Chains A and B, each alone.
Chain A
Amino acid sequence: MTRVRLIAVPVVAALVLGAILLLATGTDPLAAYGAIVSGAFGPDGIGDTLAYAVPVAGMATALAIPLRAGMVNLGGEGQLVLGAISALAVGLYVPGPGPVKVVLALLAGVLAGAAYAALAAVCENRLGVPLLISTLLLSYPAMSLAGYLVRFPVKDAGSSLPQSPQLPEGTRLPELDGVTTGIFLVVAVIAVYAVIDARTPAGFETKVTGWAPRFAEYAGIDRPKLTVRLLAASGGTAGLVGAIAVLGFPYRFIDGALITPQYTWIGLLAALLAEASPLGTLLAAVFFAALTSGGFAMERATQVPRELTAVLQAVLIIFLAATSGVFKRKAGRA
Chain B
Amino acid sequence: MIDASLFSSALTALTPILFAALAGALCQRAGVFNISLEGSLLVGCFGAVAGSWYTGSAWVGVVVAVIAATAYSLILAIGSITFDGDPIVLGVASNLLAVGLTSFLIRTVFGTEGSFSDPMLRGLGQFGPIPGQSLLVYLSWLAVPALAVLLYRHPWGLRLRGVGERPEAASSLGVNVTKYRYGVILAGGALCGLGGAQLALGSVTLFAENMTAGRGWIAVVAVMLGRAHPLGVLLAALLFGLAEAFGFRLQGIGLPQQATDAAPYVVTLVALFLSNIKRKKGQPA
Contacts and interface: CB of A to CB of B under 8 A. Distances in A.
Contacts of B125: none
B279 to A, nearest CB: 8
B100 A269 contact: no
B93 A321 contact: yes
A19 interface: no
Interface string B182-193: 000000000000
B59 interface: no
Interface stretch (B20-28, B128-136, B260-268): B260-268
Given A151-B256, A151-B258, A305 B214 contact: no
Given A147-B258, A305-B107, A307-B104, A133 B84 contact: no
A328 B108 CA distance: 38
B285 to A, nearest CB: 15
Given A129-B269, A144-B261, A311 B100 contact: yes
B277 A322 contact: no
Contacts of B85: 318, 321-325
Contact of A141 (B83, B86, B92, B262): B262
Nearest to A265: B96
B224 interface: yes
B137 interface: no
B273 A129 contact: yes
Interface string B212-223: 001001001100
Given A141-B262, A321-B86, A322-B83, A310 B276 contact: no
B204 interface: no
A238 interface: no
B208 interface: no
Contacts of A129: 269, 272-273, 276
Contacts of A100: none
B79 interface: yes
Chain A, interface SS category = helix
Interface residues of A, number: 48
B243 to A, nearest CB: 12
B271 to A, nearest CB: 10
B26 to A, nearest CB: 19
Interface in B96-127: 96-97, 99-101, 103-104, 107-108
B258 A145 contact: yes
A307 B83 contact: no
A141 B92 CA distance: 21
A72 B268 contact: no
A317 B107 contact: no
Contact of A310 (B80, B92, B99): B99
Give the interface centre of B79, B89, B101, B268 by most chain A CB atoms within 10 Å.
Answer: B89
Contacts, number: 136
Given A148-B256, A151-B258, A328 B89 contact: no
Interface in B200-254: 214, 217, 220-221, 224
A130 B256 CA distance: 30
B93 A314 contact: yes
B93 A137 contact: no
A144 B262 contact: yes
A318 B93 contact: yes
B97 A311 contact: yes
Given A137-B268, A140-B265, A272 B92 contact: yes
Nearest to B104: A307
Contact of B84 (A134, A305, A313, A328): A328
Interface string A272-285: 10000000000000
Give the interface centre of A72, A269, A305 by most chain B CB atoms within 10 Å.
Answer: A305
Contact of A305 (B86, B108, B259): B108
Given A145-B258, A305-B103, A311-B104, A322 B79 contact: yes
A162 B261 CA distance: 16
Interface string A317-334: 110111111101100000
A129 B78 CA distance: 29
A138 B269 contact: yes
Interface in B34-82: 35, 75, 78-80
Interface in A139-198: 140-141, 144-145, 147-148, 151-152
Nearest to A324: B85
Give the interface centre of B35, B83, B103, B107 by most chain A CB atoms within 10 Å.
Answer: B83
Given A137-B268, A310-B103, A127 B83 contact: no
Contacts of A133: 220-221, 224, 272
A2 interface: no
Contacts of A268: 92
B220 A318 contact: no
Contacts of B75: 318
Given A25-B108, A305-B104, A141 B265 contact: yes
A262 B88 CA distance: 18
Contacts of A307: 100-101, 103-104, 107
A136 interface: yes
Contacts of A266: 96
Nearest to B113: A305
19 contacts: A129-B272, A133-B220, A140-B265, A141-B262, A141-B265, A144-B258, A144-B261, A144-B262, A147-B258, A262-B96, A269-B93, A310-B96, A310-B97, A315-B97, A317-B89, A317-B92, A322-B79, A325-B80, A326-B83
Across chains A and B, which 3 residue pairs bring their CB atoms closest together, nearest first?
A310-B100, A325-B84, A314-B97
Given A132-B35, A307-B103, 4 more contacts: A140-B262, A151-B256, A326-B83, A326-B84
